[in-house]
Amino acid sequence: MIDMLRKVINKSERGQAIIIIAFAMVGLVAIVGLMTDGGIMLIEYAKLKRGLDAGAIAAAAQFRKDFTGEDLANAAQEFLILNDSEAQSIIIYRCKRDYETNALDTTVDGTEHDDTLCTTPRRKLVRVEAVRLVVFGFLRVIGINSSSVQATAVGEAASVDLVLVLDNSPSMAFETDPDGDPLFADPGDDPVVCNAADNCMPFKRVKDAALELVDRMFFPYDRVAVVTYTDQPPYTSRTASDVAQELTADQSDVVDAIAQLKTFQPPDCPYNGLCLDRSPGYYDGLDCFEDNFVAFGDPTACTGSDVGSALLRAAIEFSRMPVRTDSFWAVLILMGGPANAGKLDNDPSTPTACPSATWFSAPLCRDSDIPTITRHTNTSPSYDADDWARDNADYVANPVTGQGATIFSICLGEYCRNYPYGLSDSAENLAEYMALTAGDESGVDVNHGNYYYAPDSAGLSQIFLDIAANILTRLSK
């Protein structure tokens, strides 16, 4: 009887062991599955996140004028596929509120609204969410066939703060008379007349090209300012750079400011001279200089290329509130000749850029280092308008000691390479320096732009559009 009982107990223990082992095997498979399939989920999440980061940047890069919601979604999906992370669902979020009215756009365009992306000032922000299904291998044993991973990423294309610096000196009217000499003022080039008719050439084409560029900007995310070499009406006795339009996100204000720009016309000379022998306001080089120097003690009324002051005003625009340190800062400067104006000896606010002795030389406001260009410090007696312009170009471009903006320069016309006084290519040398060298110093990374030469105004439109395209390629981050 006892032996029989022992046999029954031994069989029962063996049956329990089998059950325990069976459960242990299932548990072991579950643990291995959790580790393996859990690792797969982490890998798939990392791939999804990596693809989503790239997709968000790609979507933001489409966030420009005339974009559609489908453009954003397609760009994000393409980059997910390229990263082997195609998602089962993808949602694109952006701010869909009108900048001026704050009204919500409910149009179905492939994107959803997210109020947190409606920043002040506006930024080109896109948030992308995606879900990917992960199919399990080991966890199926315990009835878990799959699970989803979800990730989100925010992409941004930098907004643009652009300052247009336009040469509106008297030479910008020298091509108005089709039968005249483009290097010198002719009676048919009178700025009083062509300003009234808005047909001063080549300045009219400069304005048209600038308007085309502005039309490519994405307002209200981008901002534009307009600075001119000389002041606008009412005219004064001296040329002085002028901010025709402060940095603004209002496209209509920028367009109006450009449309109203005039070439500089010196004040009427109060003394008899050749400048009074022609139509009112017409000036004639040295005669105007002599008369204005006697009348006003300020011969800068006869020159109009204070490049240094214009660059300084452009640099200051980037400090205008609200300051957008996360935007792309750029200066586009168009010049039609060398720097020939600046601050006088009696102006204590800035370094002297036009020593009195240089006013009676040719060219005006230039030192005697012709036929070469020698850089001087602002404590040198030879510090001139060209030095003044280069110093302020350094301030615009250097990110450590200045503003860190990118300069694109255009030199227009015969004065760039065939200036009749002094070094023939001094204008082109300055323009190349501004775009390609300004701000350089050891250990400083300067984001340089490009230099363009336009032999005449016919090619200005394409150059302005090339610069606009160049700016857009630098925006994703």
Q: Are 292 and 302 in contact (CB under 8 A)?
A: yes
Burial of 253 (0-12, 13-18, 19+ CB in 10 A): middle
Mean pLDDT of 159-186: 84
CA distances from 223 to 136, 241, 310 (A): 51, 20, 18
> What CATH superfamily is the domain 160-472?
von Willebrand factor, type A domain (3.40.50.410)
Own/partner contacts of 71-75, CB < 8 Å, gap of 24 or more, are 72/110, 72/111, 72/126, 73/110, 73/111
Burial (Cβ within 10 Å: 0-12, 13-18, ≥19) of residue 349: exposed
Question: What is the per-residue pLDDT for 139?
Answer: 64
Once rounded to an integer, what is the mean pLDDT over residues 364-380? 74
Is pLDDT of 311 > 90? Answer: yes
Tens of pLDDT, residues 15-38: 566 666 655 565 565 565 566 766
Secondary element (H or E) of residue 462:
helix 460-472
Higher pLDDT, residue 315 or 131: 315
Higher local confidence (pLDDT), 27 or 125? 125
Per residue in 47-94, pLDDT (tens digit) is 878 877 887 887 877 777 777 777 877 887 777 777 766 777 888 898
For residue 279, the model assigns a pLDDT of: 41
Residue, of 205 and 361, whose pLDDT is higher = 205
Q: State pTM to two decimals.
A: 0.77
Distances 318 to 125, 211, 350, 393 between C-alpha atoms, Å: 21, 21, 20, 14
pLDDT, position 12: 54
**pLDDT tens digits for range 192-201:** 788 889 999 9
Query: Once rounded to an integer, what is the mean pLDDT over residues 122-140?
Result: 81
- 3-class state of residue 214 by DSSP: helix
Burial of 145 (0-12, 13-18, 19+ CB in 10 A): exposed
Q: Tell me what pLDDT residue 31 has.
A: 63
Q: Where are the domains of the chain?
A: 16-157, 160-472
- Beta strands 146-157 and 451-454 are unpaired
- Chain-centroid distance of CA 17 in Å reads 76
Number of neighbours of residue 90 by Cβ within 10 angstroms: 19
Cβ atoms within 10 Å of 250's Cβ, excluding its own: 15
Q: pLDDT tens digit string along 388-415?
A: 999 999 999 999 999 999 999 999 998 8
Peptide bond into 178 cis (omega under 30): no
Lowest mean pLDDT among 5-9, 117-121, 225-229: 5-9
pLDDT greater at residue 70 or residue 111: 111
* Under 8 Å between Cβ of 263 and 282: no
Q: What are phi and psi of 207, to 5 degrees?
A: -65, -40
- Among 19-28, 105-114, 261-270, the range scoring the smallest mean pLDDT is 19-28
Instruction: State the pLDDT at residue 85.
Output: 67
